[in-house]
Structure 1
Amino acid sequence: MLRWLTAGESHGPALVATIDGMPAGLDLTTGVLRSALARRRLGYGRGARQSFERDEVTILGGVRHGTTTGAPIAVQIANSEWPKWRVVMSADPVDPADLLVDAGTGDGREIARNRPLTRPRPGHADLPGMLSYDLDEARPVLERASARETAARVVLGAIASELLRQVAGVELVSHVVSVGGEHAEPGLPLPVPTDEEALDASPMRTLDPSAQNRFVAAVDAAKAAGDTIGGVVEVVAWGVPVGLGTHVQADRRLDARLAAALMSIQSVKGVEIGEGFAQAALPGSRAHDEIVRGPDGRLTRASNRAGGIEGGTSNGQPIVVRAAFKPISTVPRALRSVDLATGEEATALHQRSDTCQVVPGAVIAEAQTALVLADALSDHAGGNSVAEMRRNLEAYLARVGERA
């Protein structure tokens, strides 16, 4: 069983990620984590923050000389902008007079970072967070609710991906399938792990040149209108063995775990496994993946509309999941709100943000998928070391091969 947790605020000194239950003997270096975070920073439509903020990664425990020890792994992602935020985000009390002094230079939204944020943004956690935690302003809410927290999840996902790859040969790839009302061409082959370099090089993380041009134009139009735009991302996991997850309890079903993990990402409002929504419009005779013999004589499927999961359990086909990201709720032209300090109508507060988050969203969704699959693999082939997990999995797959 794997357990993970993140802590820290968007403009605090650092984010911290911990994961417990990883076996000993996994090859892991700081460079792997840095590479994962660099992928999260890619994409067209990102805000100014990406140009000056850097991820400073330090492994604090659980790894020695490039190999996991079996102890909990802890990682720190330091905030290079922390000096600008020492007063407003100080853990210890500060002189109230210091919060009346404008901070920074240039952008008025940065100059006023010390001031109370009392005009909640529609679509964000601001208002429900202020009310449920009885807070006078939104700063304590938005600092934790911010998508900056997903940097910690991407680090954890990178560790999980290494477990999947080194134990079971499972590899994941993610891409963007729509932005606003623009969609990639239907019927294109699913991306494979060897496409990773090309996807990272694509501004919109797509292998469809026509779609890329349309996606970029949609982002540009939203930015010119003082607006934001969302989209849909897809994650494909290749090489997932049959039998991860289970039908016996609701909270252990693989599709349920994936749906919960993806829905936990900031801005995600919908999740689909395989062709879930399209299946709803098909008759049963066409909706399901018929079981056939492959060229090698082994059991396989004639299609993969189920997205690699049946009855809460992986069925040996590629796992395909999609997540729908709503437009970012920090809208430049500011939506109607109410100032909770005065009770008067107002426009919502605004801070620096992206125009479109779907490219990093794909990387984050990939990380969340990796965490769920790694946990399911640990449940099925668990052991205290990578070597033990491999032996357990090989023995299981040998028996599956006999029957299939």
Structure 2
Amino acid sequence: MRYLSAGESHGPELTAIIEGMPANFTVNLDEINFQLSRRQKGHGRGGRMKIEKDQALVTSGIRFNRTTGAPICLKVINRDWVNWEDKMAHFGEPLENIELVSRPRPGHADLSGGIKYQQRDLRNILERASARETTIRVAVGGLARQILEQFGIKIYSHVLQIGSVKEENPVRPFEAKDTAEWANKVEESPVRSYNSNTEKRMMDEIDKIKAEGDSVGGIIEIIITGAPVGLGSYVHWEHKLDSKLATAVMSVQAIKAVEFGLGFKVGERPGSQVHDAIYHSEEAGFYRNTNHAGGIEGGMTNGEPIIIRAAMKPIPTLYKPLESVDIETKQAFEASIERSDACAVPAAAVVVENAVAWELANCFLDKFSGDSVEEIKQQVAAYQDLIDNY
């Protein structure tokens, strides 16, 4: 599968066209909209979340709740467009009193993008570079994860750190007494924390940073359960699953680091404390008692949960801006202020979930290819027999 997206932060809509979706998959539009609503939540979000109530529109490729095999077009309307029609008009001449953005924000795409594309009004850069673009990515991921869930693959996320506040003893969904209870508790948390005490400390940290006119980042963890052995490949670099997932994670705005399993700790430990011993039983087949690899070895899933962590930098728009230089006058100024969040780490967790869902669904369909869900189910069943008899 592949998709292209289009749209700007303050344009009329965000659009994606998805090609290669097999026929006869059941699609629930409410589930896509649920993912969009999750993206808008979180302690520390800005004022725009009160304006936009994102809902997906499907204009092709799905009929009576099932994919047809034709390209799927998804749209999300920007309700704020009515306030920007004159400033973001597609044709005609700009208003005489239109305010050009000439003061690039440190940490954003403004300056590099302006130089690269030779734009004197940096709004032409920031509109597409904005994290508003993740709205349509979440909608696409909300479709892709429905493929995965029909084959027992589930994706979870939680926040491990915001600023200086860390979750010292994180509990993952498969470690909790009740996975559904874990998921519900994290969803209800304004900072996506399973620990009530940590939740309060994280919220206090966000409030403190916001009061100072600053922003704060953090660390999220993605957990994927139910993935069969053998997704991805060791044969060529571009087919390695961890390479693909890392690309998906790092493509999300403001994500600056990614790791799997033990991550950077593998550089501190001897091999005996890094690699996961292999065991076998008649009931379980091959299994591990540890998961330092994070569910991926040699670029392939090994049957254990996939564990990914990502670090998000603070939002670059500050209400007490850093110094910058006006691209027209070359004089020093405080950088421009755009409406923004003090902290978007919980929302980023949802975005990364859905970015990963798209990539994993692609790898799944590469392994179990077919033009219809019926073909794919046959291939999955046949492969499961091979696993059971190995």
Structure 2 length normalisation: TM-score?
0.96
Judge conservation of contact 2:87–2:94 (CA < 8 Å) in 1.
Answer: no
1:76: which partner in 2?
75
Q: How does 1:131-210 map to 2 (within 5 A)?
A: 131-166=115-150, 168-186=151-169, 188-190=171-173, 194=180, 195-210=182-197
Distance 2:345 2:158 in 1: 9
Judge conservation of contact 2:58–2:73 (CA < 8 Å) in 1.
Answer: yes
1:379: which partner in 2?
366
For residues 193-242 of structure 1, the C-alpha deviation after alignment (integer angstroms, 9 at most, x for no partner) is 62332222101111111210111011011001100000011111110000
Q: CA deviation at 1:53?
A: 1.8
Which of residues 329, 350, 357 is equivalent to 1:342? 329
2:113: which partner in 1?
129
SS of 1:233's equivalent?
strand
1:10: which partner in 2?
9
Deviating runs (4+, > 3 A) in structure 1?
A: 189-193
Distance 2:321 2:84 in 1: 24
2:200: which partner in 1?
213
Which of residues 296, 306, 309 is equivalent to 1:309? 296
> Given residue 175 of structure 1, which amino acid in structure 2 is its aligned partner?
H
Unpaired segments ≥5 residues, structure 1: 101-113
Judge conservation of contact 1:126–1:141 (CA < 8 Å) in 2.
Answer: yes
Distance 1:319 1:71 in 2: 31
Q: CA deviation at 1:259?
A: 0.5
Distance 2:43 2:311 in 1: 17
Q: CA deviation at 1:54?
A: 2.1
The 1:149–1:3 alpha-carbon spacing in structure 2 relative to 1, beyond 3 Å, is same
Which of residues 367, 387, 390 is equivalent to 1:400? 387
1:321: which partner in 2?
308
Judge conservation of contact 1:48–1:353 (CA < 8 Å) in 2.
Answer: yes
Q: How does 1:19-30 map to 2 (within 5 A)?
A: 19-30=18-29
SS of 2:55's equivalent?
strand
> Given residue 120 of structure 1, which amino acid in structure 2 is its aligned partner?
P
Judge conservation of contact 2:56–2:139 (CA < 8 Å) in 1.
Answer: no
Distance 1:38 1:187 in 2: 25
Q: How does 1:286-305 map to 2 (within 5 A)?
A: 286-294=273-281, 296-305=283-292
For residues 24-78 of structure 1, the C-alpha deviation after alignment (integer angstroms, 9 at most, x for no partner) is 1111132221111011111100011111222132101110011111111110100
Q: CA deviation at 1:7?
A: 0.7
Distance 1:329 1:391 in 2: 49
> Given residue 166 of structure 2, which amino acid in structure 1 is its aligned partner?
H
> Given residue 188 of structure 1, which amino acid in structure 2 is its aligned partner?
V
> Given residue 72 of structure 1, which amino acid in structure 2 is its aligned partner?
P
Judge conservation of contact 2:240–2:299 (CA < 8 Å) in 1.
Answer: yes
> Given residue 143 of structure 2, which amino acid in structure 1 is its aligned partner?
I
Distance 2:366 2:309 in 1: 24
SS of 1:176's equivalent?
strand
Q: Does 1:262 align with 2:249?
A: yes
> Given residue 160 of structure 1, which amino acid in structure 2 is its aligned partner?
A
Judge conservation of contact 1:42–1:200 (CA < 8 Å) in 2.
Answer: no
SS of 2:156's equivalent?
strand
1:366: which partner in 2?
353
Which of residues 100, 109, 119 is equivalent to 1:116? 100
Q: CA deviation at 1:95?
A: 4.8
Judge conservation of contact 1:18–1:156 (CA < 8 Å) in 2.
Answer: no
Judge conservation of contact 2:220–2:311 (CA < 8 Å) in 1.
Answer: yes
Distance 1:221 1:244 in 2: 44
Judge conservation of contact 1:240–1:314 (CA < 8 Å) in 2.
Answer: yes
Aligned length: 386
Q: Does 1:57 align with 2:47?
A: no
The 1:22–1:349 alpha-carbon spacing in structure 2 relative to 1, beyond 3 Å, is same
Distance 2:129 2:94 in 1: 26
Structure 1 length normalisation: TM-score?
0.93
Q: CA deviation at 1:280?
A: 1.6
Judge conservation of contact 2:86–2:95 (CA < 8 Å) in 1.
Answer: no
For residues 242-278 of structure 1, the C-alpha deviation after alignment (integer angstroms, 9 at most, x for no partner) is 0000001111100000111100000000001111112
For residues 361-401 of structure 1, the C-alpha deviation after alignment (integer angstroms, 9 at most, x for no partner) is 00001001111110000100011111211110110111111
Distance 2:172 2:92 in 1: 56
Identity of aligned residues (%): 40
Q: CA deviation at 1:181?
A: 1.5
For residues 95-151 of structure 1, the C-alpha deviation after alignment (integer angstroms, 9 at most, x for no partner) is 532xx1xxxxxxxxxxxxx41000000000000000000010210100000000000
> Given residue 161 of structure 2, which amino acid in structure 1 is its aligned partner?
S
Judge conservation of contact 2:36–2:55 (CA < 8 Å) in 1.
Answer: no
1:108: which partner in 2?
none
Distance 1:149 1:40 in 2: 12
> Given residue 185 of structure 1, which amino acid in structure 2 is its aligned partner?
E
